[in-house]
Chains A and B, each alone.
Chain A
Amino acid sequence: MSATDAERGGLGAEELPALALRVREHVVRMATGGGCFIGAALSCVELLVYLYGRVLRLSPQTVGDAGRDYLLFSKGHAVPALYGVLAELGYFPRERLGQHLQPQDSLYWHPHAALPGVEFHSGSLGHLLAVGLGVAADLRLAGADNRVFVVLGDGELNEGSIWEACLVAAAQRLDNLVAVIDRNGLQANAPTEQLVPLEPLEAKFAAFGWGVRRCDGHDFGALAAACTRLPLEPGRPTVIIADTVRGKGLPSLERRVDRWFVDLPAAAIAPLLTELRTVYGDGASGRPAA
């Protein structure tokens, strides 16, 4: 593993599993009192934890620095995972998570830049790859070596604007741009392959001129290997297709089309937290307990 790419976030590899568990607990707690898009949030926990913990040159002290790496969260509805990661890493106090869906704060169903660590608002799918192109283009103009990571959903790949931006990123040779796809296989109401098939996804991106890597999006070792040396190919943007499971960590919700968005009774939260502990133990092992 290259020290330059995998040790910038500042966390030790051994800290990641426990952090992921705490993020999942935050996501579960946001599933009541108005609810959240729990399934999509749970599928991208490890990839967010890995990027913020080990890859991004970014910390709560450098959120405004010109030299930071950018993470643009395009699948905005999965934001509870982002809220959890940012709170756990100290971008804002954990107590603010208690203000989820309250009008006095900015933690709603989609991210907004009013929250420290959120670079740009999202919620309308298919936007932030183009915005990421603009950030990457400016960094290249400035001669800077910061990178731009854009986290996309797989259902989001239905949007034509994504493929437009893919063409342009390759044309502009923006190799400081990395798209990370949370490939959980489900969109709102159906498996992606039943509604609008995406596979073979690696071949599609390769044909569009991108460097492509596919990995297990819940395995920190696999994520580390995928992020070892970026860009994957000089002169080309990179895509990391992270295979994931919607609702990951809660077997009672996993892969269920009807658990896209949930607003649960408050009493339902404690059993789900217990379910998480059953699966992950105390999070220290990095592997599900089962």
Chain B
Amino acid sequence: MSETYQDLLAELAQRDPRLVVLTAENRAAIRELPARLGPRFIDVGICEQTLVGMAAGLALRGRVPVVHALASFLVLRAYEFIRTDVGVGGLPVKLVGYVPGLLSTANGPTHQAIEDVALLRTIPGMQIFCPADRAQLLAGLPAVLASPRPCYLRYCDLAPTVEHPAGLALGGAEVLAEGSEITLLSYGLLVGQAAQAQRLLAQAGLRVGLLSLPWLEPLDEAALLAVAARSALLVVIEDHFARGGLYTMLAELLLREGRSAQVLSIALDQRWFRPATLDAVLEHERLSGAHLAERVQRAWQARGALAPSAAGAASRR
């Protein structure tokens, strides 16, 4: 049983000769792979456009390229190559974005990929996998690589702090806690913080559920509609701009289905975050479990004061 991302990737590559691993000199997650994969490991240097174009060419020949670069440079610098070569071509290139969202920690806004989901979801056929931690990353990786479609993997290798149900299906959400009053919705590294908030809120007597959505494309719409139907308040928690991420997806889904829900968005609202170590960022941006619990509790209390006519409308605060 592989215990690290690179172990599993090497193991899958040994089984599937189509797999090739590429990087734009971003080796942090794959240091052992040059030795283990030999010529099936290609480092092109610091050039994300060529990285993605080359991956498309490899895929055109039947390979499944797994490309690695810092998420902001992969998605932003090479976006048109992703959209035009991989997207229009419908090629099974797997794009692994390193240190997305808050994981860029102290790097600053140049490195903050907090619009990556918004951009990639506009590409027809693109799958988006945002694991919460190493366990979800390893559980989902085989499905990512086996799919005939392109995929963006929003890399997160944190040690798990939650127990994931067995058998993660492609496109499936995970119910980490059931709750009839409030349901927290999250993906990526904030799932761990949301889980802590859920425990704190439950201890405070609220009936709070937590839905983890590692797949944003395809999105588990049935799971979202189910929690929307049974929760008085939905809270979307994401380390992404408020525009274009899960909050937007949920709003689109509810509108399309003619459903309404009260929704609180906890995200980065039209600004980049203050660079710092991860714990300090979580604290400063009020995204730690304790801060999330407090913000949700305040929204829950404010909800009681809302006029009935407004209670069904989506609300940001």
- When chains A and B are docked, how far (Å) is the Cα of A161 from the Cα of B51? 10
Task: Give the chain A neighbours of B56 by CB distance below 8 A.
Answer: 120, 130-131, 134
Contact B60 A119 (CB under 8 A): yes
Task: Give the chain B neighbours of A172 by CB distance below 8 A.
Answer: 42, 44
Contact A134 B45 (CB under 8 A): no
Q: Assuming the A-B contacts A165-B53, A168-B44, are A134 and B81 also in contact, with contact meaning beta carbons closer than 8 angstroms in the complex?
A: no
A-contact bits for B80-116, CB 8 A (1 contact / 0 none): 1100110011000000000000000000000000000
The chain B residue sitting closest to A172, CB to CB, is: B42
A13: shortest Cβ distance to chain B, in Å?
32
Q: Is B23 interfacial (CB 8 A cutoff)?
A: no
Q: Which of A137-154 contact B (CB under 8 A)?
A: 137-142
The chain A residue sitting closest to B43, CB to CB, is: A171
Q: Is A167 interfacial (CB 8 A cutoff)?
A: yes
Contact B58 A137 (CB under 8 A): yes
Contact A132 B49 (CB under 8 A): no
Q: Is B52 interfacial (CB 8 A cutoff)?
A: yes
Contact B20 A135 (CB under 8 A): no
Contact A161 B50 (CB under 8 A): yes
Q: Is A127 interfacial (CB 8 A cutoff)?
A: yes
Query: Considering residues B42, B53, B56, which has the most beta carbons from chain A within 10 angstroms of its beta carbon?
Result: B53
Task: Give the chain B neighbours of A129 by CB distance below 8 A.
Answer: 53
Task: Give the chain B neighbours of A168 by CB distance below 8 A.
Answer: 44-45, 47, 50, 54
Q: Which of A200-251 contact B (CB under 8 A)?
A: none
Q: Assuming the A-B contacts A133-B57, A134-B61, A168-B50, are A141 and B89 also in contact, with contact meaning beta carbons closer than 8 angstroms in the complex?
A: no
The chain B residue sitting closest to A169, CB to CB, is: B50
Contact A138 B57 (CB under 8 A): yes
Q: Assuming the A-B contacts A130-B53, A132-B57, A133-B57, are A141 and B39 also in contact, with contact meaning beta carbons closer than 8 angstroms in the complex?
A: yes
Could you say which interface size class chain A belongs to?
A: 20 to 34
Q: Is A22 interfacial (CB 8 A cutoff)?
A: no
Q: Is B69 interfacial (CB 8 A cutoff)?
A: no
Q: Is B40 interfacial (CB 8 A cutoff)?
A: yes
Q: Which of A113, A124, A128, A135 contacts B61 (CB 8 A)?
A: A135
The chain B residue sitting closest to A138, CB to CB, is: B61
Q: Is A45 interfacial (CB 8 A cutoff)?
A: no
Task: Give the chain B neighbours of A141 by CB distance below 8 A.
Answer: 20, 39-40, 63
Q: Is B55 interfacial (CB 8 A cutoff)?
A: yes
Contact A171 B40 (CB under 8 A): no
Contact B53 A127 (CB under 8 A): yes
A-contact bits for B16-49, CB 8 A (1 contact / 0 none): 0000100000000000000000011010110101
Contact A124 B84 (CB under 8 A): yes
The chain A residue sitting closest to B47, CB to CB, is: A164
Contact B63 A165 (CB under 8 A): no
Q: Is A259 interfacial (CB 8 A cutoff)?
A: no
Contact B50 A165 (CB under 8 A): yes
Task: Give the chain A neighbours of B50 by CB distance below 8 A.
Answer: 130, 133, 161, 164-165, 168
Q: Is A94 interfacial (CB 8 A cutoff)?
A: no
Q: Is A85 interfacial (CB 8 A cutoff)?
A: no
The chain B residue sitting closest to A113, CB to CB, is: B89
Q: Is A121 interfacial (CB 8 A cutoff)?
A: yes
- When chains A and B are docked, how far (Å) is the Cα of A142 from the Cα of B80? 29
- When chains A and B are docked, how far (Å) is the Cα of A126 from the Cα of B53? 10
The chain A residue sitting closest to B80, CB to CB, is: A124
A-contact bits for B162-200, CB 8 A (1 contact / 0 none): 000000000000000000000000000000000000000
Q: Is B59 interfacial (CB 8 A cutoff)?
A: yes
- When chains A and B are docked, how far (Å) is the Cα of A82 from the Cα of B235? 55
- When chains A and B are docked, how far (Å) is the Cα of A120 from the Cα of B49? 17
Contact A137 B45 (CB under 8 A): no
- When chains A and B are docked, how far (Å) is the Cα of A135 from the Cα of B61? 6
Contact B89 A127 (CB under 8 A): no
Q: Which of A120, A134, A167 contacts B54 (CB 8 A)?
A: A134
Q: Report the 4 A-B pairs with minimum CB-CB distance, sorted nearest first.
A: A134-B57, A130-B53, A138-B61, A134-B54
A sample of 7 cross-chain residue pairs with beta-carbon separation below 8 angstroms, ordered by A number, consists of: A120-B60, A121-B88, A130-B52, A133-B53, A140-B39, A142-B61, A172-B42
Which residues of B are in contact with A by a Cβ distance under 8 Å? 20, 39-40, 42, 44-45, 47, 49-50, 52-63, 65, 80-81, 84-85, 88-89
